[in-house]
Structure formats: C-alpha cells, structure tokens
Chain A
C-alpha cells in the first residue's frame, strides 16, 4: 500500500484579484522508503504540492491520503497532531529555534510528543551523532554553519520517527561541499531507518541522488521517472 496517495489535487490561490492555479489535477503515489525529488521551474507548484503532502495546506479539490487517513477530513487540531506524529520537515532556511542548542532543537519535537526526558535526550544525541554533528550538540544555530544547521534540521525531522520527511529546497542555501555531505547523510538515513524522503528542488545534485524524479510544470506532473542508484 502507498504511504502517500494524492488524487486529483487542485489548488487555487485567491489572494489577489486574479486566481492563481498552483496545482491542476495532480495524481501521485509514494511508497515507503522512497527518496523522491519533485522538480520543476519556479512557479510550477512544487512547494504547493509539498505543503499539501505535508498537511500544511489543504487542496482546493481532490484528496490526499496518508495510508488510510484522508487529510481533508481532519480538523485543524487533528492536522497539527497528525503532522507532529507522522511527518518530518526540513526547510530551505533551516528554521531551527535560535534560542535552543542543537540538542534541544532535536529534542523539541519529542517534547511536544511528550517523550520522557531521559529517552529524548538519548535519542537526540544518537541522531546528532548519526547526522555527524554530535560534537556540536551544545551549540546554538547561530554558532553553526548552514550545512550543520541543516543537519540539525534533519535530526529534528527524524526525531519524531515520521512516516516521511518533507524537504523543501533543503540545499538551496548550502555550498557544494555541504550539499554533498547533507545528501549523502540523508541517503544514509533513508537506508538506515527506511525513512521516506520527498524533496522539492531544482538542484541537479539532489536530482542526481534521487531514486525517483517527479517533474511538475504549470501545476501538472509532466514526467515521473524512477532510477536504480
């Protein structure tokens, strides 16, 4: 069974006088353990699709199922709780909590999940070591490089033991070396924890690592390719 199933997704923004159709009937299935990149030019609807898959936004039309749960049918409160328990996020601008250390940032999701202190501290350190910055556990985001911050963001996303991780342009602010290191690390996490990763990107280096590339243009899927890597 697919972990994510999007059926006939349409999304129209009416924030200006002219309605903007960001998605025009997207159908997509993603299986457990995939390492998928959603690509396309700016304005093609990548971020909108990712927001809908991530439960941050709801489609104007169509249904989005996460296993057996139709996100359209969840209340705002249930949606927040669903995100907390089932979805991990990695953002382009890292979006760590600036006043918390790397370890505390990683623990944060587990605090919201009410994981006991000892268990979450142990897990946070384990994840920080896994993403290669265990030695920076007590550093605050301002004391870390962009690549290191993004590693903390990945550790934080993994901490909730999500069914899948949404990564919106995770390498956009990183230099080449950091990008390679981050992608290698994410690929390793994908293998190690069988975590599903879904990226939006127009970074070729990400595409080179992806096992599946879904291309969007004008809010429609124009190609969907799978690779053996």
Chain B
C-alpha cells in the first residue's frame, strides 16, 4: 500500500485519489465512495450526489475561489495537485484554505512536489504529503522541517517575527 506522511508520521494511504473524471463518477456509485478523493469540478456539480466522499482535490490550474461559502466540514481531505514542483500556486491555495476558508481537515499535497519543499508547505497549511511513488518516503521524512525559526507569521504560528522578538 502507498504510504503518506501525515502530521509528521509515515502512514498507510487508505484513500483513493481519483484523477480521472469518469472514474470518479463511477466511484460515487460504488462501495469505495467513502474513500474517494474526487475532482473539485465533480464535487461542485449538483448533478452528482457527492455526499460522503472522503475529499476533493484541486489542480494547480484551478483555484480555491469556488469553495467560498461552501460547507467544507464534511471533507476529511482537500488535496492540492502540483502540476510541477516549481508551480507555486498551491502554496497560496493551502494558505487560503486554512486562513480564509477556515478549513480544519487534512490539506494534502498531491502530484509533482518534492521532499525539499516540505518546510514551506507545512508553514502554509499542508499536513499531508502523498509523494510520487519514486520518492523514498523514509528519506523524505528527514527533510520534513529544515528550519526551527521563521521571519513571517504562517499557518502554524500566525505571529510575524516582530511579535515574537
């Protein structure tokens, strides 16, 4: 079974990130619905009954704006998919999920991010890391938190350095 890092611990990944729209529609009717992480668009589409899914995922090319005003408390996971690791849009999305939309569940990194980005990712609100399968997750865990102090306030500690000095 694939592993993830969640809250700083390596765990089994027991949820199913479904990237394909049609497969996601099928999953809504199947017995694995409660484990499905489905595309944002599908979740927003009233034609489908998406209640009871584990979560949704948002692509780099999308945004968190459609989530404004929605009840996110039913979602155990919101995944953010890195198209490329240098595509930093998901850093803003994670922060907006936490600070603007007050989302309390797991914010999971998906796709092409790299282990060396975890430090920044933790600070903007990610707490789940589902690496590409080529990544050695034990080694990735060693890179989880490269800094013990920071200048800016962040999701972990909203106080900027001038409020901590």
Partners in one complex: no
Which residues of B are interface residues toward A (Cβ below 8 A)? none
Which residues of A are interface residues toward B (Cβ below 8 A)? none
